[in-house]
């Protein structure tokens, strides 16, 4: 059976307190990292951004269509201007002038149709642009909320990390003061069971919170003061206080 002076075993409780504090700090970090507000905002932002991409694409497509429609109107208007200039010059055969007049009438009808289509596109573009602005506002609002909460969480995490570093340094200093063999037993127990050492007080293991059975108490009574004994339920090293039984 492994042995350690009772005083050394008692000091393990100080080491366990630091390890418990580190565990609590790690749990606090996990809770903050999984803050439901961040999860919800991330999901909402993803949807809002996807909707904005769709609207942006629509606005870009309508913009290109409108440019083309404006070019089409300009081309027809230029052709009408050229034909009217020829017609107004009065030169040419009568039948050619009549044909030219007919072409101008057809072109004016074409220009009217193109201008109607252009106006419809402008109205659609205005509506899409308005929806784009509104959706951008939604994205900006969610982003602002996200950034605010993220800053709050980052500040909390930084505070926890500062305490963690101080505690870890204190733990390292304390651990270095133990016999290597005793520390190895403690560290293995901590890694395996989550608790390295616990006080045995009035027959109750503070590692498991349970009263030891009469048989277990009898076995511990038989052990020497410097024997290292373990909790039958939690697996932790049982540190016997003066009033352990």
Verify that 112 and 217 share a domain, yes or no: no
For residue 233 the two structure tokens come to 């339920």
CATH of the domain at 50: 1.10.287.1490
Kindly report the CA angle at 140 between 136 and 142, in degrees rounded to 5?
A: 120
Q: Are residues 41 and 144 in the same domain?
A: yes
Same domain, 106 and 143: yes
From first to last of its 245 residues, the chain has per-residue pLDDT tens of 789 999 999 999 999 999 999 999 999 999 999 999 999 999 999 999 999 999 999 999 999 999 999 999 999 999 989 878 877 776 666 676 677 788 888 989 999 999 999 999 999 999 999 999 999 999 999 999 999 999 999 999 999 999 999 999 999 999 999 999 999 999 999 999 999 999 998 889 999 999 999 999 899 889 999 999 999 999 999 999 776 55
User: CA angle, corner 145, sides to 141 and 146, nearest 5?
Assistant: 115
**Residues 122 and 162 both lie in one domain:** yes
Q: Both tokens of residue 185?
A: 């037993």
Where a domain ends, among 129, 147, 167? 167
Residue that is written with structure tokens 């027809």 in the block? 76
Count other Cβ atoms within 10 Å, centred on residue 76: 20
Model pTM score: 0.71
Q: Which residues pair with 200 in a beta bridge?
A: 205, 240
Do both 191 and 161 map to the same domain?
Answer: no
For residue 192, what are the domain limits? 6-23+179-240
Distance CA 77, CA 229 (A): 101
Same-domain pairing of 120 and 189: no
Backbone dihedral region for residue 147 (phi beyond 0: left; psi -120 to 50: alpha; all else: beta): alpha
Dist CA 101 CA 110 (whole Å): 14
Q: Answer yes or no: are the C-beta atoms of 70 and 118 closer than 8 Å.
A: yes
The Cα 12–Cα 67 span in angstroms is 79
Among candidate residues 119, 141, 167, the one where a domain is terminated = 167
Show which of 167, 200, 224 is a domain's final residue: 167
**Degrees (nearest 5) of the Cα angle 150, 154, 156?**
120
Quote the CA–CA distance of 82 and 107 in Å, as a whole number: 11
Residue 29 domain-assigned? no
- Dist CA 105 CA 121 (whole Å): 24
**Are residues 42 and 146 located together in one domain of the fold?**
yes
């Amino acid at each position: 059976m492994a042995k350690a002076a009772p005083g050394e075993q008692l000091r393990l409780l100080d080491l366990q307190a630091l390890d418990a504090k580190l565990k609590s700090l790690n749990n606090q970090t996990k809770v903050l990292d999984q803050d439901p507000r961040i999860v919800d905002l991330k999901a909402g932002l993803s949807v809002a951004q996807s909707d904005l991409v769709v609207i942006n694409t629509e606005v870009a497509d309508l913009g290109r269509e409108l440019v083309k429609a404006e070019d089409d109107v300009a081309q027809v208007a230029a052709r009408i201007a050229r034909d009217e200039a020829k017609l107004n010059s009065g030169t040419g055969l009568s039948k050619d002038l009549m044909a030219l007049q007919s072409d101008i009438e057809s072109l004016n009808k074409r220009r009217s149709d193109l201008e109607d289509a252009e106006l419809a596109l402008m109205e659609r573009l205005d509506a899409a642009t308005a929806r784009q602005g509104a959706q951008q506002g939604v994205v900006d609002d969610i982003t602002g909320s996200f950034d605010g909460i993220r800053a709050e969480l980052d500040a909390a995490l930084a505070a926890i990390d500062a305490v963690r570093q101080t505690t870890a340094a204190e733990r390292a200093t304390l651990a270095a003061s133990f016999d290597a063999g005793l520390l190895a037993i403690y560290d293995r127990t901590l890694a395996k069971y989550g608790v390295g050492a616990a006080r045995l007080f009035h027959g109750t293991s503070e590692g498991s919170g349970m009263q030891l059975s009469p048989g277990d108490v009898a076995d511990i009574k038989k052990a020497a003061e410097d024997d290292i004994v373990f909790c039958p339920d939690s697996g932790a090293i049982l540190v016997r206080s003066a009033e352990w039984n």
